[in-house]
Amino acid sequence: MVLELQKPRPIWQIMFSTHHTDVGLLYLISSLAFLFLGGSLALAIRAELFLPGAQIIGDAMTFNRIFTVHGTTLIFLFIIPFASAVGNYYVPIMVRYKDMAYPKLNAIAFWMIPPAGALIWLGFADFTWYATPPYSIISAPGPAADMWIFGLKILGISSVLGAINFVVTILKCKHPDMSIGQVPLLAWSFLSSSLIILVAIPTFAAALLMLLTDRLGVSGFFNPAMGGDPIAYAHLFWFTFHPEVYVLVIPAIGMMYEIIPRFSRKPIYSYNSGVFAFVLLSIVGFSSWAHHMYATGMSFTEKTVFMVGTLAAVPASAMHVFNFVATMWNGRIKFSTPMMWAVGGIALFFSAGAGGVANAAMPLDFTTHDTYWVVGHFHLFVMGTIAFGSIGFLYYMFPYVTGRMYNETMGKIHFIMSFVGTVLVFFTQHVLGLYGMPRRIFDYPPIPEWIAMNQIATVGAMIIGVSMAIFLANMIYSSGKGKLANTEDPFGVGGKYYYPFEAKNPSH
């Protein structure tokens, strides 16, 4: 196979390299570091909510700061960089090119992430990852809020540079013998998500700039005291971040398209429907942003249009699920750790999607708006689908990157504990929302049902936390002491590797 680190090298050679596998490795390490940092904050939040009253966090302001950095870290510093790691490793190989189209730009895009992360963590802003005005303009204390804004601006530029690189690499650098209809589905997922980034991110970049000038007092775009409209910020925010959900989930689905046929020992059931579903999701992602804003005074006609637009994502998502199931059907499935994560991710993707259909319906949205139902739904997508697909693929990449095998038993324990914990946390949060508990609160009244469900959710979170400690120990130990892997077929599933155009990666 093609990805192994041939020999131990000085760290500085990797840090200052522009080769796509080295940049991918840097993305991988930094994203995992932020995963554990952001996850630790999640455990602090859940521990605080185990009982009513202050438990381990002293006051609401500190809670809000933890809450903000947790969300910002896991979305912008874990999920997106992890996808970039996978794309950097695999996309050039899949399109049979020597590197990314612009290697230096690729390295620059990565090196924008550490300072951005430092700004977000050192600032520790308190206005949630929405930065919703008017609070974020009038009251959010600086310089924390300003550092968060600058951090997000840098991350946005990094994402746009990375997206340009993926689009050019796939469309312009693929081998002349390879048509666009032969590009593997994982590469298609990066092409689709990159195009979404190029359309969506500039809108939020403009909104952040307007927010900053509002904070400086030189404009009043979103400040009601100066004639501005906070709802306009919400539209700009969701125009970016509803499609951004697809930026997060589409690469994870692409990773599943690599794992499932490999461990089912069958080709993809329908390559064309997979491509069509990626393209369709990229388009309809922009037709559903306002379903987040049913409660802001939109007309019935507008709500109906966006409800239909939101539901348009259902057939595309269902096509992926059908494709996965049909690929596994009658396959000789080997349930190694990557396959377990992929199958678990599909099950939770289906569950989260069902919750999304309910969210799109106006009557239920009015009932559950800004409750823990929304928290459960969103996190089931993020943790249950995106993180499951990503972690499964990390196990899949491991022997190719390190040349060694991870401990399979520990990998399966990690999966089982994470699956159980995810169900306990996020399914319970759906029910908690139906009982009316608001989201984003530091304390809550001692209602027995709320206490019981918060405790179940916290126990689930702690189970996930323990599983992640097992995962970390497995990765660190196996990287140095694991059994040497057969990099031609590390999982013993036989057959020829799935890539239709497998090629040895040339040296840079």
Domain of residue 313, residue span: 16-481
Cis bond upstream, residue 261 (ω within 30): no
Rounded to an integer, what distance in angstroms lies between the CA atom of residue 223 and that of residue 130? 16
User: Where residue 500 falls among pLDDT bands split at 50, 70, 90?
Assistant: very low
Residue 178 within any structural domain of the chain: yes
Name the region of 224 (left: φ>0; alpha: ψ -120 to 50; beta: rest). alpha
Tokens of 8: 């131990």
505 located within any domain = no
Residue 491 covered by a domain:
no
Residue 48's SS3 state is helix
Residue 367 lies in a domain: yes
Q: What is the pLDDT of residues 305-339, one digit of tens each?
A: 888 888 888 888 899 999 999 999 999 999 999 99
Looking at the 3D structure of the chain, how many domains does it have? 1
Q: How far is CA 194 from CA 245, 458, 508, in A?
A: 13, 36, 24
Q: What is the pLDDT of residue 495?
A: 64
At 501 the pLDDT is: 42
Separation between Cα atoms, residue 435 and residue 79, nearest integer Å: 31
Residue of 55, 45, 51 whose CA lies nearest to 448: 51
pTM equals: 0.94
End-to-end Cα separation, the chain, in angstroms = 17
Q: Can you tell me the mean pLDDT for 30-48?
A: 97
Determine, yes or no, domain membership for 185: yes
Q: Residues 159, 80: contact at Cβ < 8 Å?
A: yes
pLDDT at 266 over 60: yes
What pLDDT is stored for residue 486 in this prediction?
A: 85
Q: How far is CA 146 from CA 61, 169, 180, 225, 240, in A?
A: 17, 35, 43, 20, 20
Alpha-carbon gap, residue 456 to 302, rounded angstroms: 39
pLDDT, one tens digit per residue, over 404-420 is 999 999 999 999 999 99
Q: What is the reported pLDDT for 6?
A: 52
- Is 398 within a domain? yes
- Per-residue pLDDT at 502: 45
Is 411 in contact with 474 (CB distance < 8 Å)? yes
Which of 207-211, 276-280, 315-319 has the least mean pLDDT? 315-319
Does the residue 143 lie in any domain? Answer: yes
pLDDT confidence bin for 243, thresholds 50/70/90: confident
CA–CA gap between residue 189 and residue 251 (Å, rounded)? 5
The model's confidence at residue 473, banded by pLDDT at 50, 70 and 90, is: very high
Instruction: Name the token pair of 140.
Output: 């959010």
CATH of the domain at 403: 1.20.210.10
d(CA 504, CA 2): 6
Q: What integer pLDDT is reported at residue 284 of this predicted model? A: 86
User: Does residue 2 sit within a domain?
Assistant: no
| pLDDT tens, position by position, 118-165 | 999 999 999 988 898 999 998 888 899 999 999 999 999 999 999 999
Question: Which pLDDT belongs to residue 498?
Answer: 46
Instruction: Evaluate whether 75 touches 248 at the Cβ level (below 8 Å).
Output: yes
